[in-house]
Each structure stands twice: as C-alpha cells, then as structure tokens.
Amino acid sequence: MSKLRVAVLGAQGRIGSEAVRAVEAAEDMELVAGLGRGDKLETLVEAGAQVVVELTNPGAVMGNLDFCVRHGIHAVVGTTGWTDERLAQLRTSLAASPGAGVLIAPNFSIGAVLTMQFAQQAARFFESVEVVELHHPKKADAPSGTAARTAQLIAKAREEAGCAPQPDATSTALEGARGADVDGVPVHSVRLRGLLAHQEVLFGGEGETLTIRHDSLHHSSFMPGILLGVRRVVTTPGLTVGLENFLDLG
Ligand SMILES: NC(=O)C1=CN([C@@H]2O[C@H](COP(=O)(O)OP(=O)(O)OC[C@H]3O[C@@H](n4cnc5c(N)ncnc54)[C@H](OP(=O)(O)O)[C@@H]3O)[C@@H](O)[C@H]2O)C=CC1
Ligand SMILES: O=C(O)C1=N[C@H](C(=O)O)C[C@H](O)C1
C-alpha cells in the first residue's frame, strides 16, 4: 500500500517539530516537506503533499489553508484562534474545492477530547460552571482554543436543556477578575513557567462540586490524534471540527 504523503507547516515549532518526528516514525506515512515561516507554499505542490498538518499561529493559518484547499490538499489543523467568521470563510473556500477535507482539532489529546465530552454531559446538571486553563508562558493566545471550545459546548448543552443563567452576585470587579465571558461561561487563563497544557472544568450545584481536570505533560500527548486525523481526513471531505468526530465514541 502506498504511503500517505504528509507535510508539516510550523515544522520548527514546539508541536510542529514533534509532529515531524511522529510522521517520520509512522509506517504508513512519508514526510515530504517541513516548512517554517518564510518558506514557499508552492513547495507543498512540488513535493506532492496529500495532507498538510498545520501548526503555525492564528495570523498564518487562514492563508495557509486557503492555499491548501485551492490545491486540493487535505489539512489537519491544530492552530488556534478560530471564530465563527473564520469557519464560515473556510467553508466557503471548501465549497469551491469539494474533494478537499479539513479537520480543525482544538486539542489532539484523547484526554482533552474526553474532558470536553464529559463536560458537555455534566453541563445541564449543575447551576454553576467555570473553566480554568493553564499553559506554558510562551503561548500566544488566551483563552486557549480548547477552553474556548469547552465553554462553547457547555453553553450549548445548557441552552438546549433550558438552564437558567448562572448565579453570580458580583457587582464590582477589577477588569478581568471574573475571566473572559465565552457564551456566558467564565474562562480563566493562567500562564506559568513549568506548565505545558492543562485544564479544569469546575461545576457547582447545591452542596456539591465536580471538577474535571486534564493535563498534557508532553507534546507526545498530541501525536496519536494528529496521526489519526491525517489517516481519516483524506476520506472526509469538507470541514470537520473536533477530533471526537474521528474517535467513534458512539
Ligand atoms: N490542537 C492541539 O492539540 C494543539 C495546538 N497547538 C497550537 O498550535 C499552534 C503552534 O503552537 P506552538 O508549536 O506551541 O507554537 P510555536 O511558536 O512554537 O510554533 C509555531 C511555528 O510556526 C512557525 N510559523 C509562523 N508563521 C508561519 C507560516 N506562515 N508558515 C509556516 N510556519 C510558520 C513559527 O516560526 P517563527 O518561530 O519564526 O514564528 C514557529 O516555528 C498554536 O496555535 C497552539 O495553540 C499547540 C499544541 C497542541
Ligand atoms: O499552545 C498550546 O500549547 C496548546 N494549544 C492548544 C489550545 O490553545 O487549546 C491545545 C493545547 O492546549 C496546547
């Protein structure tokens, strides 16, 4: 069987360099290009890349994906910074290139994906919920893509269940003290030397609390998800948001 021809964008970055090693070690894949800032995207076409793993930054990702989709190259995207407007723009370019598939995964680690699933399940049973994400201090964006997605999923589940707004008597606060408001869910961001990527979802009800915590201790936690995404995106045209769609969770 022929190997999947894979390229990595952001190949010298923290997660990109780990992804390069993971693709090189995968028996069913061949790394055909590893590009960094300033490298020409045409290299992807010249190298015959079938799938691009996009791990750059929010300022670069849209241009990179536009190029890939226009050239019929599938993409597995870990880069953060997604908004409804950006997703709509991507759907428009995919509509003009119907064979291409794009997976956007706010988090590639199985534990983080399950955290989001469990949080969605728990959401309707508790009056209060807040998200705390904790990351290394070199992270550019806040809140993390994972925390934003978690809060959105919780908010949707609460809305579908007809939950009342959360109780909160705060009448005066320093700016930022109550976190960022993501669809009505407070999200707090910590940046601390020594950490990698961590998240707690705190639920509160009458006389009880539930905390769901996930810790990524090494970038290797993201690699099985990236490789799964590469294998599945080639047969999944259009836009898929969330690795859970490829995990057969039932
Ligand atoms: N979904 C997930 O599971 C995960 C997602 N991420 C996300 O991945 C992204 C990258 O994170 P991280 O590796 O920590 O960041 P880094 O800054 O370490 O890596 C990003 C790399 O991309 C390069 N780059 C910048 N612009 C371009 C471009 N136009 N084309 C090609 N390469 C470019 C950067 O080069 P230079 O240094 O010169 O700017 C850098 O080497 C972030 O958005 C992060 O949130 C991270 C971990 C897991
Ligand atoms: O920048 C990171 O490191 C990470 N980014 C992603 C995010 O913003 O959610 C995924 C993970 O948290 C690591």
Pocket of ligand 2, beta carbon within 6 A: 80, 106-107, 135, 139, 144-146, 197
Reply yes or no on whether the pLDDT at 44 is more than 80: yes
Kindly state the DSSP code that residue 11 receives in the 8-state scheme.
Answer: T
- Tell me if the pTM is above 0.90: yes
Atom of ligand 2 nearest to the CA of 141: 8
Is 229 a pocket residue for ligand 1 (Cβ < 6 Å)? no
pLDDT in tens, 97-113: 989 999 999 999 999 99
Taking the C-alpha atoms of residue 246 and residue 233, their distance in angstroms, rounded to an integer, is 9
DSSP per-residue codes, 174-197? -TTTT-EEETTEEEEEEE-TT--E
Q: Minimum-distance ligand to the CA of 104?
A: 1
Residue matched to tokens 């898929």: 240
Point out the annotated binding site for (S)-2,3,4,5-tetrahydrodipicolinate.
Answer: 136, 145-146
Is 179 a pocket residue for ligand 1 (Cβ < 6 Å)? no
Pocket test for ligand 1, best of 12, 52, 53, 55 (most atoms within 8 A of CB): 55
135 is catalytic: yes
Cβ-based burial of 103 (10 A; exposed 0-12, middle 13-18, buried ≥19): buried
Reply yes or no on whether the pLDDT at 75 is more than 80: yes
Residue of 78, 94, 79, 107 lying closest to 247 (CA atoms): 107
Taking the C-alpha atoms of residue 182 and residue 205, their distance in angstroms, rounded to an integer, is 20
The ipTM assigned to this model is 0.98
Predicted local confidence at residue 248, as pLDDT: 87
Q: From the CA of 79, how far away is ligand 1's center (Å)?
A: 7
Taking the C-alpha atoms of residue 56 and residue 37, their distance in angstroms, rounded to an integer, is 9
Domains belonging to the chain, first-starting first, are 4-104+220-246 (3.40.50.720), 110-217 (3.30.360.10)
Report the nearest-CA residue for atom 26 of ligand 1: 37
Taking the C-alpha atoms of residue 198 and residue 21, their distance in angstroms, rounded to an integer, is 23
pLDDT in tens, 47-69: 999 999 999 999 999 999 999 99
Predicted local confidence at residue 250, as pLDDT: 76
Is 107 a pocket residue for ligand 1 (Cβ < 6 Å)? yes
3-state SS assignment for residue 152: helix
Predicted local confidence at residue 98, as pLDDT: 87
